[in-house]
Each structure stands twice: as structure tokens, then as C-alpha cells.
């Protein structure tokens, strides 16, 4: 009989106006990888914050039993002393400090006012080898990629003598290769006796590593599935997450009326803002029509985001050149304000960093791109703001207690809806959506897809950038394929397949490593292997 390492009994956590957790139960055996899945806002991260002491004892109801002992953590340091270490989705690393300094920040080696640097760097190097990093612990965090930074976080956890490792969306920002390397590392730790809890919406990753899967919906435990004894299928997990079966991942578009060209881009070029000799967008030409959804796909680093941002008022890049026509007229967009004035919107892939002001309420975020509509003689009318925000909450079915809800406290899917509301309120004719469903679950994705289809049906022109091939194939009328800053192919939705898209990329370039390009190393999700559910 396996030893129960962790038991969370009847955990209830309430925020003002919202019951985030309602009698949630979780049981984790020693030496297993246990997955927590659910829609955005289901309560997964909240439950782990309760476990780690971020939400201290007394702020919730229920019991935490760890190693047979009832625990009452009042601070995250209390749980870390027991060997419970949490790694959040947003990495907690200081860019201009070394790897070793980050690993031992708050856990310094040596005496109170005399850090033993030899011991610090020596131990850090050993832990880096354990997680498979060859970098010196003297390297600055800013000089390594996101995938390696995630491994540094794991090394940091090991330095705290972790026995139960909690990972909240550990692969959200990683490509396929880095994701697999991290998951293989978890398997290695499991073989050595470590217990892990992983929160992820990527069901293919869950299938790859998890021994058991606990599904949470609307703050309540739905069921726990055992890979060895239960019939665990993707459809069963999704039904548990969303409360219904998703027969079709992509809503059908009806009454499609594609009109004339609304935006034309000809011979567009853009270089890196610091290294101007490095061309990121190279002689790109494409167009989009009214009522049309045009997909842009390609390898990670193909230049898709750089293209979008350089078009959007030259908000990224140097040496930008080419011709941009909106409704047949050549325009010169020198700023974001110019772009908005010409009815062009860009929904960034980085909603937390560049899209929303997380500390402000929904009301303020919704109207940011069109303040004139809610102001009189430069004075903002709060009542008009409230009405506008409430209107879009209803239109997009955003789950929140009120328009005064702080955006940072919303789930990822609802944050994405607020970001869409912000740009829809600006009343654009053309919307560039950059990874519009990144970091949101399958149910919220479907709702975003429905919104996109409604926008197209209303005559808006949609350019959708996505790393997920099933999404591109399921939502687009036409597809452009980018590679190394160029458009290397164009297909309509009827002829496009995953294989044809990859073949198009293969013909345009030989992969530098000589490894055949597959969805595994393209940074794309493969159909059937699914898909982010976040």
C-alpha cells in the first residue's frame, strides 16, 4: 500500500464576492506525479497557494495533512521547511543577478552577514548538473533563455531540499523541446522518489507524465483518475473540466460573407531594434478581406509577432519599410495612436505584460484604447465607463463579480476576454490577434473562437497568429505560412493540412540541426495530441 504523503480535506477559500474553493479534497501518494486540471478560474492555483502557505492558515477552512501531520502554515517559508516548494507560472528570478544568487536568494549559505560564496557557487553548479544545465552558476539570468530559466527554478527548489515539488503551468512559455526536457526531468525525479504536483492545461503533457489526475471545476473536486485503473481519455478529462462534452473544438461559421480587401501589406521589412543588420521581417506581402479570418503560422521565431507589431504603428523594430494600405488607401502609421485612428487593433500575445494593467479594474482596462468615447472635454465619465464595461462583460460572458474587479485577480481566460473587450471597444475594422488563446483552457478557447467568428460575421477583418496548427486549420479561411521572416506559402482552408504546412516550411529551409521538422520540434501543437487546454 502506497504511503499517502499529502491529504487536503474539505478546503474552502473565499475572496470578496467569490467562493474560489468549496470543500476541495486532494490526496497525493509519495513518489507519484499528480496532475491538477481544470478551466481557468477553477481554483487550481488557489488550492496550491493554500498548500504552500501563500494563503496562510486562518484565511481558509479545512485541513492540510502532510506526512501524517496536520500543518498550519502561516508563511511560504513554513511549507518550504517541510520540503514543499512551489514554482509559479511567472518565474521569480532577478535578471541581473547570477544563477547562483537567484538560487539562494532568501536561502543564503553562510552566516547572517557573511555569505559563503564558494559554497554558494559550488553547490549551485552541482544542482545545475542535476537538472541538466551546463551553464556556470556565475551566468546572469538575463543571458539564458526561458527554458533554462525554468530549469533554474527547479534547481532552486532542489537547493531548498524539496520533497514535494509543485509546478504551476511549467511549460506555458516553453517550446516543445524544452517542454519535453522538463517533463523527462520530472520522470527522473519520480524514479528517485520525489513527489510532484503539476498544474497544466496541456493534456498531451498530462498524458505523458501523470500517474493520477484530479479534475477541479468551479472550485469543487469532480474526480480523481488513476492512469492504471481508470479509462482515462481526453474526452473524459475535458467533460470533467467544462461540465459538458465538446463535440467540436471549433464552432462552425455560418453566413460567411467575405468582402473586398481591407488591408494590404506589400514588401514589408523590419529589423531587430538593437541589431539593425538582423532582418526579422523580410519582404512580406499579404492581404485580408472584410469578414475573413486569415491565419499566420510558422516556426517559433519565424517573425510573426515582429510583423504584427511593426505594422501596428511601428511599435517594434527598426528600418521598417514597405507599403501598407487600409481600405485601398496607403497609410503611414508612425505610432500606436495612428494605428487606432485608422481602425487597426493589435491584441498582444503578452496580455499580462503589454495588454492589460493588472492592478486596475475591468472598467478602466476596457476603455483604455478609446477614452474619447467615455470622456467629455478630457474628463473621463465614470458612469459611461461602467456602462461600457458592463456591456462587454455581457457580450463576452466574462466571469467576474463586477466591473470593479481587479483584472489581475481574474482567470487567464477572463483576462483574455477583457483584453478583447478593450480592442473591440476601440471599434476597429481590422484586428490582429496574436496567440489569442495562449494560456487558456479548452472551454474558454471555444468561447474565444465564438467571439472571433462573431467579429468576422460583423464584417471585421481578422488576422490570427497562432502556434497551434489545429487552431489555424480550424479557424482560418486562408493561411499564410512564415519562415525566417518570409511568407513561404499561402493556402485556403479547404486545401490546407498539417502535413502540407510542414512540407511548405521544409521546402523553404533546411533545419540547421539536420533534424526533420515535426510538430514536436516546431513549437506547434499536433492535432490529436492536444492542445493546450489552458
The per-residue pLDDT for 528 is 33
pLDDT confidence bin for 243, thresholds 50/70/90:
confident
Q: Are residues 383 and 423 in the same domain?
A: yes
The model's pLDDT over 472-504, given as tens digits with 9 standing for 90+, comes to 999 999 999 998 899 999 999 888 888 788 778
Looking at the structure, do residues 320 and 441 belong to the same domain, yes or no?
yes
Q: Does a structural domain hold residue 250? A: no
Q: How confident is the model at residue 386 (pLDDT cuts 50, 70, 90)?
A: very high
CA R_g for the chain: 24
Is 154 contained in some domain?
yes
**390 and 477 share one domain:** no
Residue 529, pLDDT above cutoff 60: no
Residue 255 lies in a domain: no
Residue 509, classed as helix, strand or coil, is coil
Please indicate, yes or no, whether residues 110 and 130 belong to a single structural domain of this protein: yes
| 152, 93 contact by CB (below 8 A) | yes
307 with 437, same domain: the answer is yes
- Backbone φ and ψ for 515, nearest 5 degrees, come out as -85, 135
Among 201, 222, 245, the domain boundary falls at: 245
At residue 244, the pLDDT reads 62
Q: Which residue has the cell 516550411?
A: 505
327 found inside a domain: yes
Question: Is residue 366 assigned to a domain?
Answer: yes
The Cα–Cα gap between 171 and 206 comes to 11
DSSP E strand stretches across 158-236: 164-168, 195-199, 212-217, 220-226
pLDDT of residue 499: 79
Last residue of a domain, one of 220, 245, 270: 245
Q: Are both 371 and 515 inside the same structural domain?
A: no
Say if CB 254 and CB 423 are below 8 A apart: no
Strand partners, 433: 347, 464
In 26-116, where does DSSP find H-type helix? 44-52, 76-81, 99-103
Q: What is the pLDDT of residue 510?
A: 45
Q: Looking at the domain assignment, is residue 349 inside a domain?
A: no
Using alpha carbons, list the distances in angstroms from residue 99 to 138, 144, 157, 207, 254: 6, 10, 13, 32, 53
Question: Please, what is the Cα angle at 377 between 376 and 379, to 5 degrees?
Answer: 65
3-state secondary structure of 311: helix
Instruction: Let me know whether 453 and 508 are in one domain.
Output: yes
Boundary residue ending a domain (366, 395, 427): 427
pLDDT of residue 227: 85
The reported pLDDT for the residue numbered 530 is 32
Mark whether 435 and 456 lie in a shared domain. yes
Total domains present in the chain: 4
56 and 202 assigned to the same domain: yes
Backbone angles phi, psi at 34, to 5 degrees: -110, 125
Contact by Cβ (8 Å): 186, 33: yes
Average confidence score pLDDT of the chain: 85
Q: Domain for residue 254, yes or no?
A: no
Query: H/E element holding 28?
Result: strand 18-29
> What letter does residue 438 receive in the DSSP assignment?
T
Give me the mean pLDDT over the 505-531 stretch: 43
Report the alpha-carbon distance of residue 140 to residue 99 in Å, rounded.
Answer: 6
Query: Could you give the 3-state DSSP secondary structure of residue 255?
Result: coil
Residue 128 covered by a domain: yes
The confidence band for 413, taking pLDDT boundaries of 50, 70 and 90, is: confident
More confident residue, 353 or 313: 313
- Evaluate whether 422 touches 403 at the Cβ level (below 8 Å): no
Whole-angstrom Cα distance, residue 391 to residue 195? Answer: 46
pLDDT digits (tens, 9 = 90+) for 172-228: 767 677 788 888 888 988 988 889 999 887 788 888 889 999 999 888 889 898 888
Q: Say if residue 455 is in the same domain as residue 518.
A: yes
Residue 177: give its domain's CATH number.
3.40.50.300
With vertex at residue 466, the alpha carbon angle to CA 183 and CA 151, rounded to the nearest 5 degrees, is 25
Structural domain boundaries, residue 44: 1-83+163-245
437 close to 417: Cβ distance less than 8 angstroms: no
Question: Is the Cα dihedral 340, 345, 348, 352 positive or negative?
Answer: positive
User: What global pTM score does this model have?
Assistant: 0.65
Helix count and strand count (H, E) for the chain: 16, 24
What is the structure's pLDDT at 246?
58
Distances (CA, A) of 132 to 136, 154, 155: 12, 11, 10
- 408, 457: one domain: no
Question: 155 and 24: one domain?
Answer: no
Asked if 129 and 50 count as a contact pair (C-beta separation under 8 A), the reply is no
Within a 10 A sphere around the Cβ of 266, how many other Cβ atoms?
A: 14
User: For residue 202, what is its C-alpha cell?
Assistant: 496541456
Classify 22 as helix, strand or coil. Answer: strand
Q: Give the span between the Cα atoms of 20 and 46, in whole angstroms.
A: 7
To 10 degrees, the CA torsion angle through 38, 41, 43, 45?
A: 90
pLDDT, tens digit, for every residue of 306-352? 999 999 999 999 999 999 999 999 999 999 999 999 999 999 988 88
pLDDT tens digits, 24-46: 999 999 889 999 988 767 888 88
| Distance of alpha carbon 375 from alpha carbon 305, whole angstroms | 32
Give the pLDDT confidence score for residue 290 in this predicted structure.
Answer: 95
**Could you give the percent of the chain with pLDDT greater than 90?**
40
Amino acid at each position: 500500500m502506497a504511503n499517502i504523503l499529502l491529504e487536503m480535506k474539505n478546503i474552502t477559500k473565499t475572496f470578496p464576492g467569490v467562493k474560489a474553493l468549496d470543500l476541495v479534497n486532494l490526496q497525493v501518494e509519495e513518489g507519484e506525479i499528480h496532475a491538477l486540471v481544470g478551466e481557468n478560474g477553477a481554483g487550481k492555483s488557489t488550492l496550491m497557494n493554500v498548500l504552500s502557505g501563500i494563503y496562510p492558515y486562518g484565511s481558509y477552512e479545512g485541513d492540510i495533512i502532510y506526512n501524517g501531520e496536520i500543518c498550519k502554515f502561516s508563511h511560504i517559508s513554513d511549507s518550504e521547511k517541510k520540503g514543499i516548494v512551489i514554482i509559479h507560472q511567472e518565474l521569480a528570478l532577478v535578471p541581473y543577478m547570477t544563477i547562483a544568487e537567484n538560487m539562494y536568494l532568501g536561502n543564503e549559505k553562510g552566516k547572517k552577514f557573511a555569505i559563503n560564496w564558494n559554497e554558494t557557487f559550488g553547490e549551485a553548479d552541482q544542482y545545475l548538473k542535476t537538472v541538466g544545465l551546463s551553464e556556470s552558476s556565475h551566468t546572469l539570468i538575463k543571458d539564458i533563455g526561458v527554458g533554462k530559466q525554468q530549469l533554474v527554478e527547479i534547481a532552486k527548489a532542489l537547493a531548498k531540499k524539496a520533497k514535494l515539488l509543485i509546478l504551476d503551468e511549467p511549460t506555458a512559455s516553453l517550446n516543445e523541446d524544452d517542454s519535453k526536457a522538463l517533463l523527462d526531468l520530472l520522470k527522473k525525479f519520480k524514479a528517485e522518489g520525489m513527489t510532484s504536483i503539476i498544474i497544466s492545461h496541456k493534456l498531451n503533457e498530462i498524458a505523458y507524465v501523470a500517474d493520477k489526475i484530479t479534475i477541479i471545476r468551479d472550485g469543487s473536486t469532480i474526480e480523481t483518475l488513476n492512469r492504471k485503473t481508470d479509462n482515462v481519455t481526453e474526452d473524459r478529462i475535458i467533460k470533467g473540466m467544462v461540465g459538458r462534452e465538446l463535440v467540436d473544438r471549433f464552432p462552425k461559421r455560418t453566413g460567411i460573407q467575405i468582402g473586398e480587401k481591407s488591408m494590404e501589406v506589400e514588401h514589408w521589412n523590419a529589423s531587430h531594434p538593437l541589431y539593425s543588420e538582423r532582418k526579422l521581417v523580410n519582404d512580406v506581402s499579404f492581404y485580408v478581406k472584410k469578414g475573413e479570418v486569415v491565419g499566420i503560422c510558422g516556426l517559433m521565431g519565424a517573425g510573426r509577432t515582429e510583423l504584427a507589431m511593426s505594422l501596428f504603428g511601428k511599435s517594434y523594430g527598426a528600418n521598417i519599410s514597405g507599403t501598407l494600405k487600409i481600405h485601398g488607401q496607403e497609410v503611414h502609421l508612425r505610432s500606436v495612436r495612428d494605428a487606432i485612428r485608422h481602425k487597426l487593433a493589435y491584441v498582444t500575445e503578452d496580455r499580462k505584460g503589454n495588454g492589460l494593467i493588472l492592478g486596475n479594474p475591468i472598467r478602466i482596462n476596457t476603455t483604455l484604447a478609446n477614452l474619447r468615447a467615455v470622456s467629455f472635454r478630457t474628463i473621463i465619465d465614470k458612469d459611461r465607463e461602467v456602462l461600457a464595461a458592463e456591456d462587454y462583460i455581457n457580450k463576452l460572458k466574462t466571469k467576474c463579480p463586477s466591473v470593479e474587479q481587479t483584472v489581475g485577480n481574474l482567470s487567464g481566460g477572463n483576462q483574455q476576454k477583457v483584453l478583447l473587450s478593450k480592442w473591440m471597444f476601440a471599434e476597429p475594422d481590422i484586428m490582429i490577434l496574436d496567440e489569442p488563446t495562449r494560456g487558456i483552457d479548452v472551454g474558454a478557447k471555444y468561447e474565444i473562437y465564438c467571439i472571433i467568428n462573431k467579429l468576422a460575421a460583423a464584417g471585421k477583418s481578422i488576422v490570427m497568429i497562432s502556434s497551434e496548427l489545429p487552431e489555424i486549420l480550424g479557424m482560418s479561411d486562408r493561411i499564410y505560412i512564415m519562415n525566417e521572416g518570409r511568407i513561404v506559402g499561402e493556402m485556403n482552408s479547404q486545401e490546407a493540412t498539417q502535413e502540407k504546412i510542414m512540407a511548405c516550411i521544409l521546402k523553404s529551409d533546411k533545419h540547421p540541426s539536420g533534424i526533420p521538422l515535426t510538430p514536436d520540434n516546431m513549437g506547434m501543437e499536433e492535432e490529436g495530441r492536444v492542445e493546450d487546454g489552458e
